[in-house]
């Protein structure tokens, strides 16, 4: 059953409200989690559809809320946006603050199976189950299918959550996602650290692998990816969007991959195309 939400702060924003809430999370072993949510003006008269935004490495639930500039389009379309954190906080796991790309701020939206991570690092269950139950219980957010999108590590999370749960998500999009973490340095480090050496277990969190294995792609499911051509992590082979595109083509899934000349990996890139992503999801919802 959903627990209670504590309102931490709120700001009037494009006729609606940007709010930050805190709650105790069973999914991450009883730690306190925070998230941001934008409620558009339409939420004052009834439940509205929702889109979940998953941020990338080193980020928090405030990053997308402050830097993504999604709220204006969300207010115009009457959709809420929920911004989860990127990992548990204060788990006290030895080494969780040693590296920027593993541990705190780098939960990779997986349910860890390896000690000492498995008690608290369960962001897949948190985003898939606990957080939606909380927001639909306590906030004017419509139950049913949602949209989901994200950036970098969060793009990886959005893609894998959507592919594994097509009954829960009507649409998925991503900015510069990690598309094949089984094979790239960021992904190998994180997935092995959280999930161990079993490749089949790690493959459950790899969008390219999941697309290859999908029995059937729902006709109503939408997939949209933006990538900056000047992104240094694209050059370093951390992202590999064309590998995912090839897997989609083989499966008959239409993937709209747009490569943008001159754009990098930053929120200058994300915010430049955020309105299009909001409209993409609002159309599907």
Whichever domain contains 87, its CATH number is: 3.40.50.1820
Any domain includes 1: no
Would residue 98 show up in a list of annotated catalytic residues for this protein?
no
Question: How far is Cα of residue 3 from the mean position of the Cα atoms in its chain?
Answer: 22
> What is the enclosing helix (H) or strand (E) of 103?
none
State the number of CA atoms in the 13 A half-sphere of 108 facing the CB.
Answer: 29
Any domain includes 27: yes
Query: How far is residue 68's CA from residue 270's CA, in Å, rounded to a whole number?
Result: 6
Pair of tokens at residue 34: 């925070």
Domain of residue 196 covers 6-284
Number of domains into which the chain is organized: 1
Any domain includes 15: yes
- Return the pLDDT at 234: 97
Any domain includes 145: yes
Would residue 152 show up in a list of annotated catalytic residues for this protein?
yes
- What is the model's pTM? 0.96
- Catalytic residue chosen out of the listed positions 152, 171, 173, 226: 152
Would residue 254 show up in a list of annotated catalytic residues for this protein?
no
Q: What is the pLDDT along the chain (285 residues), one digit of tens a residue?
A: 467 899 999 999 999 999 999 999 999 999 999 999 999 999 999 999 999 999 999 999 999 999 999 999 999 999 999 999 999 999 999 999 999 999 999 999 999 999 999 999 999 999 999 999 999 999 999 999 999 999 999 999 999 999 999 999 999 999 999 999 999 999 999 999 999 999 999 999 999 999 998 866 766 666 889 999 999 999 999 999 999 999 998 888 878 999 999 999 999 999 999 999 999 999 999
Closest residue by Cα to residue 183 from 164, 202, 201: 202
**Sign of the Cα pseudo-torsion (148, 149, 155, 159, in order):** positive
Any domain includes 278: yes
- Catalytic residue chosen out of the listed positions 25, 206, 231, 277: 231
Any domain includes 222: yes
């Amino acid at each position: 059953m959903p627990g209670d939400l504590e309102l931490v702060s709120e700001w009037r924003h494009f006729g609606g409200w940007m709010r930050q809430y805190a709650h105790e999370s069973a999914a991450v072993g009883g730690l306190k989690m925070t998230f941001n949510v934008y409620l558009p003006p339409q939420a004052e008269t009834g439940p509205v559809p929702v889109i979940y935004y998953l941020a990338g490495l080193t980020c928090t639930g405030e990053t997308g809320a402050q830097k993504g500039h999604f709220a204006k389009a969300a207010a115009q379309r009457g959709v809420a946006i929920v911004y989860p954190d990127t990992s548990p906080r204060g788990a006290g796991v030895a080494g969780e603050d040693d590296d920027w790309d593993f541990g705190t701020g780098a939960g990779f939206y997986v349910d860890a199976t390896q000690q000492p991570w498995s008690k608290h690092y369960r962001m897949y269950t948190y985003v898939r189950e606990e957080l939606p139950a909380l927001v639909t219980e306590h906030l004017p957010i419509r139950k049913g299918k949602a949209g989901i999108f994200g950036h970098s590590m969060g793009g990886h999370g959005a893609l894998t959550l959507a592919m594994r749960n097509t009954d829960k998500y009507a649409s998925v999009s991503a900015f510069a996602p990690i598309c094949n973490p089984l094979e790239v340095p960021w992904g190998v480090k994180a997935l092995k650290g959280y999930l161990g050496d079993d490749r089949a277990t790690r493959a459950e969190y790899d969008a390219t692998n999941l697309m290859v294995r999908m029995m059937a792609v729902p006709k109503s499911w939408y997939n949209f990816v933006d990538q900056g051509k000047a992104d240094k992590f694209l050059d370093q082979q951390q992202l590999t969007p064309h590998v995912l595109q090839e897997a989609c083509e083989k499966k008959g899934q239409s993937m709209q991959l747009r490569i943008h000349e001159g754009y990098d990996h930053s929120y200058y890139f994300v915010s430049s195309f955020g309105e299009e992503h909001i409209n993409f999801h609002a159309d599907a919802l």
